[in-house]
Structure 1
Amino acid sequence: MKKIILTTESGADLPEDLAVKHDVQVVPMHIIMDEKDYEDGSLPVQEIYDYYDRTKKIPSTTSTNSHEYQEFFTKINKDFPNCTIIHIGYTSKASSSFQHAVLASEEFENLFLIDALNVTGGLTAIVMYAVSLLEQEPTIEPARLVEIIKAIVPKSKLAFVPGSLEFLRAGGRVSNVAYLGGALLKIKPRIELIDGHLVSNKKYRGKMSVVSEKLMRDYFNQYNIDRDQLYLIYSIGLDDGIKQRAEEIAREHGFQKIQWMQAGAMISTHSGPGGFGIAGLEV
């Protein structure tokens, strides 16, 4: 039976210890700052915030290109001869990365591609579900594993609130008028992945300590999330007290296994410091 290798992109924010423990291969996306290209993961997130403080500009981001995917998949084949690769990719609705993987896949016969239609914790939830399936049944046929993973994609639910509208405004994602109004009223948008698209579908008012709790309670009311695993996402700057309260709320709702994830450079470039998110799989 051929070994199955799971892969994903850095935009999953998959914690490094989990990637190493479960042998998940991660291909980097890119951050462009001062016309210099950095691989996501090689640049400390704090440098992005420091850059914004100095320049009032946010870095740009770019996807993994097809040549990089070719090199990535080729190296895996060299390291794991006769393997089968299952790539679980960053949503195609918000990045061209998945399409580049599709272009690269034409040269490989042992490669399956899955568009996760999700990012950060929502993508990690799918990857770790695949890890669990593979560890439970290591001899599973690749086509069958792909079929099961694809079926779970619509059940991955991610919701988050940025710590500030400032990064969204600087990146052109909110107008100056909306930014000023939101800043004065301390309004924060809830952003979710709907059919792979980033959608702002609700607004909260108040401090992040209040907003994060509202987000969690709304999330649990809206979705029946599998109690076996919950993912909590934070960007640098989120108060430790908020993290502690988030865990308390999660345990009140029956979650015992809670995985914290730090938003990497790719996600933090768009959401800024002090953000909070939650992800899991519906049953």
Structure 2
Amino acid sequence: MRKIILSTESGADLPIELVEKHNLQVVPMHVVMDGHDYLDGHLPVGEIYDYYERTKKIPSTSATNSHEYHEFFTRIKDNFPDCIIIHIGYTSKASASFQSAVIACEELDDIFLIDALNVTGGLAAIVMYAADLLEKEPTIEPAHLVEKIKAIVPKSRLAFVPGSLEFLRAGGRVSNVAYLGGALLKIKPLIELIDGKLVSTKKYRGKMEAVAEKVFQDYLNEYKIDREQLYFIYSIGLDEKIMQRMEEIAKEKGFKNVKWIQAGAMISTHSGPGGFGIAGIEE
């Protein structure tokens, strides 16, 4: 039986312990700051916030290009001869990275590409679903595994509240008028993935501790999430009391396993410090 290798992008924000445990292969995306190109996943997120404090600018981000993908897939095949690669990629609706993977695969064989139509914890939830399934059924046929992964792509639900409207404004995500009004009223937009696109679906008012609870309750009311696994996403600066409270609520709601994921550079450059999010798979 040929070995199946799962791969994804750094934009999944997968904790290193999960990457190592499941032998996941991760290709880095890019963060450009002060004219220097940094590999996402290798740049401490705190440096992004320090850069903003100094310059009042946010770094730019860029996709993995086709040449990098070709090298990435080739290296996997060199390390695991005769393997089959299943790549679960960052949404094609918000990055050119997935298309780069498609181009790279024109010259390579035995690679399946799946557009996760999701980012950060929503992408991580799909990758971990695939990893757990492969662990339970190590002899599963690759095509069958791909079918199962594709079937749960539309069931992965991500909701995220940025910690700073200032970062959204600096990145051109909101107008100055909307920023000023939102800042004065302490309004926080809810960002969700709709058909692979990042969309602001709701607005909440108040401090993050109250907003986080309301977001979680609305999330559970809207989606029937599988209680086996839940992912919370945070950006640096989120109050630990909020994190503890969210875990308490998750346990009260019957979730068996809760995993925290730190937002990496791709998300942090737009969400700012102190953001909170939730991801899970619908039943």
TM class by shorter chain equals over 0.9
Residue 170 (structure 1) aligns with: 170
Aligned AA (1:211):
V
Residue 213 (structure 1) aligns with: 213
Whether 2:109 is the aligned partner of 1:109: answer yes
Once the two structures are TM-superposed, the CA of residue 266 in structure 1 deviates from its matched residue by: 1.3
SS at match of 2:107: coil
Residue 46 (structure 2) aligns with: 46
Mapped to 2, the partners of 1:107 and 1:151 lie a distance apart of 27
Mapped to 1, the partners of 2:220 and 2:199 lie a distance apart of 18
Instruction: Report the TM-score when normalising by structure 1.
Output: 0.99
Mapped to 1, the partners of 2:164 and 2:271 lie a distance apart of 8
Aligned AA (1:140):
I
What root-mean-square deviation, in Å, do the aligned CA atoms of Structure 1 and Structure 2 show? Answer: 0.5
Aligned AA (2:282):
E
Mapped to 1, the partners of 2:5 and 2:12 lie a distance apart of 16
Residue 146 (structure 2) aligns with: 146
Residue 131 (structure 1) aligns with: 131
Residue 17 (structure 1) aligns with: 17
Aligned AA (2:20):
V
Mapped to 1, the partners of 2:15 and 2:232 lie a distance apart of 12
Residue 57 (structure 2) aligns with: 57
Matches within 5 A, 1:1-283: 1-283=1-283
SS at match of 1:226: coil
Mapped to 1, the partners of 2:112 and 2:155 lie a distance apart of 20
Q: Which runs of 5+ in 2 are unaligned?
A: none
SS at match of 1:106: helix
Mapped to 2, the partners of 1:253 and 1:120 lie a distance apart of 23
Mapped to 1, the partners of 2:143 and 2:72 lie a distance apart of 21
Mapped to 2, the partners of 1:219 and 1:123 lie a distance apart of 17
SS at match of 1:150: helix
Q: Which runs of 5+ in 1 are unaligned?
A: none
Once the two structures are TM-superposed, the CA of residue 252 in structure 1 deviates from its matched residue by: 1.2
Once the two structures are TM-superposed, the CA of residue 162 in structure 1 deviates from its matched residue by: 0.3
Once the two structures are TM-superposed, the CA of residue 256 in structure 1 deviates from its matched residue by: 2.1
Mapped to 2, the partners of 1:275 and 1:107 lie a distance apart of 40
Aligned AA (2:42):
S
**Sequence identity, in percent?**
76
Aligned AA (1:190):
L
Structure 1 runs of 4+ with >4 Å offset:
none
Aligned AA (1:27):
V
SS at match of 1:228: coil
